Amino acid sequence: MDTMESTKIVGGLCAALLVFLLAGWAAETMYHVGSSGHGDGEEHVSGYPIEVAAVETGSSDEPVMTLDEMMAAADAGKGKKIFSKCKACHKVEDGANGTGPYLFNVLDRRIGGVAGYEYSGAMASFEGDWDFESLNAFLIKPSAYINGTKMSFAGLKKEMDRANVIKYLETLK
């Protein structure tokens, strides 16, 4: 390669760089958003401000209803429909275990207390009986209530969904 050819290549690269820099400068000038950067104290913002009325929300750590009020308002029929999420693993017939233990007569039964079902160590060693409070807490997120449970269900986030399911489970006697 001779000197003239290498000069053309370097000149072409410099010209391409110059075009790139000029295009960037032109785009920045045309579409600049924010302060001008010239110390004039004014900030330039694109768009239109939309004023929104402030919405006051209640404290998130206070329940809207107590568990007793939710249970009084709960509907076993709705709970049966919501329970369809549980049917893949749990049976409602007495003694018929599935992937999970049967839930027939679950209220007032010892937690981890179905004979013949192989619970996780965390569930088997958990103290207490299934009552409204423990079922409600468990159904929010099982793995948070009993750390180490093999139940992978994500939980029921809506309070009334949990109350309806518990009301349905109460009918299984």
99-117: b or e for each residue (b if 16 or more CB lie within 10 Å)? ebbbbbebbeeebbebeee
In a domain, residue 71? The reply is yes
Residue 39 counted as domain residue: no
User: Is residue 114 a part of any domain in this protein?
Assistant: yes
Tokens of 83: 């329970």
Q: What is the pLDDT of residue 130?
A: 94
Q: Give how many domains the chain has, as a whole number.
A: 1
* Number of DSSP helices (H) and strands (E) in the chain, helices first: 7, 2
Instruction: Identify whether 108 is part of a domain.
Output: yes
For residue 52, what pLDDT is reported? 74
**pLDDT averaged over the chain?**
85
Could you give the percent of the chain with pLDDT greater than 90?
A: 61
93 occurs within a structural domain? yes
> Which pLDDT score is estimated for 48?
67
- Domain assignment present for residue 1? The answer is no
Domain that holds residue 157: 67-171
Q: Residues 29-87: pLDDT tens digits?
A: 887 665 554 555 555 556 667 777 776 655 555 557 888 899 999 999 999 999 998 99
